[in-house]
């Protein structure tokens, strides 16, 4: 099968970038065979037609996200591209093993930090880096959540380098979002391309909500004897991820509550239900940890449950992710993760990091300042793609401002080489064009470890852009893990 | 279910029914016009009055004088705008639909996927199709389609929603709203008849109202089996014939049946009983049109009271828990 057939000879591969569906030689990668055959048979007009059906389905299903800047217009249709991204299952097996390895080590690390701090004493990770981090939360010291696991839900951002190897770009251990879109993307695609699902072996993704429920249930302080009361804690209907909060609550069959639906009494957490108070066992919090209890953390928080942390410290309620997990989700700590894996597991990392320069190291800082036009600079503690400077695309003024910011607060910045993110054919006005993308799989750890089948593929919809965040004009693709193991 | 969600699911039921019934209210006018003499004067402002608004005040905002016969076409247009397309109007179909969607969004975790999808489709349809108003014929078709789509939502509720507190509250809200809206639709007829007119004109017929409420055939069945033969039997039928699902009596029975299983329902049940007694106290066929209008006012006041009792319960309960 040739590229000629696949795209009418007009698919322009991006130099030095790995394409997910097409090889450098212009042939179609085997897992993408069914899609290529579909395009060959039906051509571009059919793709545009299906894209329209797909948009209609998304509107009917009410799949949306929220932008803070939009005022009254709170819902926006979720952008999904009609062409899926394919990954062979053999490769996914190796990748998910690496993701589980990484989360296991990170949880050992967090538990160590809030207890013995052996890794600091052994000098593997500089103590001041952790102890002076604003994500190191003093009230969490001395606590050991069930199984010693703090970050129960992790969304790891993966990218591919130009050779096609997956690299970890960042670990999201606080309140990672996006899994609902992974699930809804699949539901939409099944409705729009029933024939493709009939023709190829696409591994299902839909056991995630059941896995999430089981993991949360395994955290219940009352054990297996009582059916656990699990509640999703949301900041409310105006939050940018509210769609996901309500979706997951619905899919798991649990309550979705805001802080004022809870109260603390007799060292327990209670939910105000129509039929009186009900004891809460597990809170899946989708509120930042420093906001969850105004008595323990930010006194100005209006999203918190006063007294919650005290109950949690006594082991009478589980919180996922545990407060304080963010200490390991810091772009400076990120640079140490390979060493953290080696230290706790005596294993080599199965997935590599992106090369990272720490601005607090004088030598590395001078390198960063001298090469601002080549590097991507990131603040250590932001998410959603905010505050990032992509050197080659920044104006001289932006680079100057960034240099000043780095000098003022070096601990707060890291830099990485500008990556040649992989691309995938994406339906644009003119036909199929390559667009850069990343992948966010979701890993769960409670009594057991679980990794989602694939994850959420996020696509930069603007030609050449590397910014995939939906808050900044990114779109998405369904991610197909194609069985190649017979 | 959260104590707080109770009110949302109750409102979800109310708004869904309001959407359907507002469409029927609009279509009741079409039926009245079709079934009446060609020279009949129709009092469009009455449609705003029955919704509890001051029509002359509102028409002034549209720059119109309700008494100016030469503006009749514009008045019709303005009244329809207020009932259908104006998002600033508290009684418009678009407003009811936005409120419906808002409540659904707040308690999505309680709603089955099928129902959520039907609600989304209903909302996009209404927001797109109700922006500009067309002639009477298209309006009639649009209203019929809105009612049909409301039935789609109800169908999904009926076939897949868990029978629990959420379903009961939804049912209570829906039937309370229906009882209220049926009396308002009846009032359209009553006020048309009461309206002073210079023209000597033939009377409007109740059958038009029954048509808009989908109750003509069952009304004939009722006549054949129960009634005296007077035309005022229609009033009896719409208020107190508990076998017809759009009669006020039926709605109140459903409110009571669904509220029975909910916590702290004693006050609700007591209020329902009082309302039932009010409807059944006198032979309705003996009422003059003015008396009927007064009775309708009393029923509506009773429904408002009942609403307050229902919503008050869940609120006070929440407060009691935190105390």
pLDDT in tens, B129-153: 999 888 888 999 999 999 999 999 9
Q: Name the burial class of residue A403, with classes exposed (0-12), middle (13-18) and buried (19+) by CB atoms within 10 angstroms of its CB.
A: middle
Query: Could you tell me which residue, A324 or B204, shows the higher pLDDT?
Result: A324
Segment B203-211 shows an average pLDDT of 82
Query: Could you tell me which residue, B208 or B229, shows the higher pLDDT?
Result: B208
Single pTM value for the model: 0.92
Q: How many CB atoms lie within 10 A of CB B133?
A: 18
The pLDDT value given to residue B230:
62
The pLDDT value given to residue B185:
93
Paired with A416 in beta bridges are A376
Summarize pLDDT for B302-312 with one digit per residue, the tens.
Answer: 999 999 998 87
Helices B216-226 & B233-240 angle (0-180, nearest 10): 110
The pLDDT value given to residue A460:
94
- pLDDT by 10s per residue, chain A, length 486: 444 555 556 788 999 999 999 998 889 999 999 999 999 888 889 999 999 999 999 999 999 888 766 556 567 889 999 999 999 999 999 999 999 999 999 999 999 999 999 999 999 999 988 998 889 999 999 999 999 999 999 999 999 999 999 999 999 999 999 999 999 999 999 999 999 998 778 999 999 999 999 999 999 999 877 899 999 999 999 888 999 999 999 999 999 999 999 999 999 999 999 999 999 999 999 999 999 999 998 888 888 999 999 999 999 999 999 999 999 988 889 999 999 999 999 999 999 999 999 998 999 999 999 999 999 999 887 666 678 898 888 999 999 999 999 999 998 899 999 888 999 999 998 889 999 999 999 999 999 999 999 999 999 998 888 888 877 778 999 999 999 886
- Residues in chain A closer than 8 A to B111 (CB atoms): 250
The pLDDT value given to residue B161:
95
What pLDDT band is residue B323 in, cutting at 50, 70 and 90? very low
Q: Distance (Å) from the C-alpha of residue B91 to the closest C-alpha of chain A?
A: 20
Kindly state whether A275 is in contact with chain B, defined as any CB-CB distance less than 8 angstroms: yes
Kindly state whether A52 is in contact with chain B, defined as any CB-CB distance less than 8 angstroms: no
The yes-or-no verdict on residue B176 having pLDDT over 90 is yes
* H-helix or E-strand spanning residue A272: strand A268-273
List all residues 6 or more positions away from A299 whose beta carbon is below 8 Å from its beta carbon.
none
- Residues in chain B closer than 8 A to A260 (CB atoms): 4
Complex ipTM tops 0.85: yes
According to DSSP, the β-strands at A268-273 and A262-265 are antiparallel
Kindly state whether A238 is in contact with chain B, defined as any CB-CB distance less than 8 angstroms: no
Kindly state whether A250 is in contact with chain B, defined as any CB-CB distance less than 8 angstroms: yes
- How many A-B residue pairs are in contact by the CB < 8 A criterion? 70
- Residues in chain B closer than 8 A to A276 (CB atoms): 263, 321
CB contact under 8 A, B317 and A274: yes
Q: Distance (Å) from the C-alpha of residue A76 to the closest C-alpha of chain B?
A: 13
Kindly state whether A246 is in contact with chain B, defined as any CB-CB distance less than 8 angstroms: yes
> With the C-alpha atoms ordered A346, A347, A348, A352, is the resulting torsion angle positive or negative?
negative
Summarize pLDDT for B79-104 with one digit per residue, the tens.
Answer: 999 999 999 999 999 999 999 999 99
CB contact under 8 A, A256 and B108: yes
Average of per-residue pLDDT values in chain B:
89
SS (H, E, C) chain B: CEHHHHHHHHHHHHHHHHHHHHHHHHHHHHHHHHCCCCCCCCCCCHHHHHCCCCHHHHHHHCCCCCCCHHHHHHHHHHHHHHHHHCCCCCCCHHHHHHHHHHHHHHCHHHCCHHHHHHHHHHHHHHHHHCCCCCCHHHHHHHHHHHHHHHHHHHHHHHHHCCCCHHHHHHHHHHHHHHHHHHHHHHHHHHHHHHCCCCCCCCCCCHHHHHHHCCCHHHHHHHHHHHCCCCCCHHHHHHHHCCCCCCCHHHHHHHHHHHHHCCCCCHHHHHHHHHHHHHHHCCCHHHCCHHHHHHHHHHHHHHHHHHHHHHHHHHHHHHHHHHC
Chain A residue with CA closest to B322: the answer is A263
The pLDDT value given to residue A1:
42
């Amino acid at each position: 099968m040739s590229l000629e057939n696949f795209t009418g000879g007009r698919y322009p591969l991006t130099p030095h970038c790995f394409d997910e569906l097409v090889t450098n030689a212009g042939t179609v990668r085997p897992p993408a065979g069914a899609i290529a055959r579909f395009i060959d048979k039906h051509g571009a007009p059919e793709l545009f037609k299906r894209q329209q059906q797909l948009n209609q389905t998304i509107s009917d299903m009410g799949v949306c996200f929220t932008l803070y800047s939009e005022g009254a217009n709170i819902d926006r249709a979720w952008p999904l591209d009609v062409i899926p991204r394919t990954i062979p299952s053999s490769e996914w097996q190796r990748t998910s093993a690496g993701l589980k390895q990484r989360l296991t080590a990170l949880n050992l690390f967090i538990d160590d930090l809030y207890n013995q701090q052996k890794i600091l004493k052994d000098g593997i990770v500089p103590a001041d880096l952790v102890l002076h981090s604003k994500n190191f939360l003093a009230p969490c010291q001395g606590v050991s959540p069930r199984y010693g696991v703090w970050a129960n839900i992790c969304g790891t951002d993966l990218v591919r380098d130009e050779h096609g190897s997956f690299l970890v770009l960042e670990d999201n251990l606080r309140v990672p979002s996006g899994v609902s879109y992974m699930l809804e993307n699949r539901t939409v695609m099944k409705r729009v391309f029933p024939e493709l699902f009939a023709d190829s072996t696409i591994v299902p993704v839909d056991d995630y909500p059941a896995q999430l429920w089981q993991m949360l249930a395994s955290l219940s302080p009352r054990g297996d004897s009582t059916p656990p009361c699990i509640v999703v804690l949301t900041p409310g209907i105006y939050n940018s991820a509210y769609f996901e909060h309500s979706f997951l609550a619905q899919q798991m069959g649990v309550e979705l509550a805001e802080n004022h639906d809870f109260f603390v009494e007799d060292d327990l957490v209670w939910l105000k239900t129509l039929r009186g108070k009900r004891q809460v066992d597990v809170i899946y919090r989708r509120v930042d940890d420093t906001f969850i209890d105004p008595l323990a953390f930010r006194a100005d928080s209006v999203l918190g449950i006063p007294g919650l942390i005290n109950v949690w410290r006594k082991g009478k309620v589980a919180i996922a992710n545990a407060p304080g997990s963010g200490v390991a989700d810091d772009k400076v700590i990120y640079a140490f993760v390979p060493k953290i894996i080696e230290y706790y597991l005596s294993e080599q990392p199965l997935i590599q990091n992106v090369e990272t320069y720490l601005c607090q190291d004088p030598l590395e800082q001078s390198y960063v300042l001298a090469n601002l036009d080549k590097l991507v600079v990131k603040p250590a503690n932001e998410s959603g793609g905010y505050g990032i400077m992509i050197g080659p695309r920044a104006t001289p003024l932006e680079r100057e401002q960034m240099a000043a910011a780095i000098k003022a607060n070096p601990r707060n910045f890291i830099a990485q080489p500008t990556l040649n993110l992989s691309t995938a054919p994406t339906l644009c006005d003119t036909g199929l064009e390559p667009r850069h993308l990343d992948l966010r799989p979701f890993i769960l750890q409670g009594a057991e470890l679980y990794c989602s089948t694939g994850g959420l593929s996020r696509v930069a919809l603007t030609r050449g852009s590397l910014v995939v965040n939906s808050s900044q004009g990114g779109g998405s693709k369904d991610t197909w893990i194609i069985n190649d193991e017979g | 279910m959260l104590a707080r969600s109770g009110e949302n699911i109750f409102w979800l039921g109310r708004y869904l029914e309001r959407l359907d019934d507002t469409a029927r209210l609009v279509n009741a006018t079409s039926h009245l016009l079709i079934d009446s003499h060609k020279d009949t004067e129709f009092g469009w402002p009455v449609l705003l009055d029955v919704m509890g608004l001051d029509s002359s005040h509102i028409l002034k905002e549209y720059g119109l004088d309700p008494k100016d016969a030469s503006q009749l076409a514009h008045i019709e247009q303005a009244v329809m705008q207020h009932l259908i397309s104006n998002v600033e109007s508290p009684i418009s179909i678009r407003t009811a639909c936005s409120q419906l969607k808002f409540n659904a969004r707040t308690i999505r975790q309680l709603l089955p996927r099928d129902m959520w999808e039907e609600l989304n489709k209903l909302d996009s349809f209404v927001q797109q199709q109700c922006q500009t108003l067309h002639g009477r014929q298209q309006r009639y078709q649009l209203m019929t389609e809105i009612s049909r789509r409301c039935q789609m939502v109800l169908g999904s509720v009926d076939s897949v929603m868990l029978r629990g507190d959420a379903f009961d509250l939804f049912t209570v809200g829906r039937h309370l709203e229906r009882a209220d809206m049926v009396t308002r639709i009846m009032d359209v007829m009553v006020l048309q008849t009461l309206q002073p007119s210079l023209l000597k004109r033939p009377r409007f017929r109740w059958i038009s109202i029954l048509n808009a409420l989908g109750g003509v055939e069952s009304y004939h069945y009722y006549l054949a089996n129960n009634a005296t033969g007077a035309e005022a039997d229609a009033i009896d039928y719409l208020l107190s014939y508990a076998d017809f699902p759009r009669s006020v009596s039926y709605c109140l029975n459903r409110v009571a049946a669904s509220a029975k299983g909910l916590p702290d329902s004693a006050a609700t049940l007591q209020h329902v009983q009082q309302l039932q007694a009010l409807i059944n106290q006198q032979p309705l066929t003996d009422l003059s049109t003015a008396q009927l209008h007064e009775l309708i006012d009393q029923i509506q006041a009773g429904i408002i009271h009942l609403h307050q009792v229902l919503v008050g319960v869940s609120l006070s309960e929440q407060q009691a828990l935190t105390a």
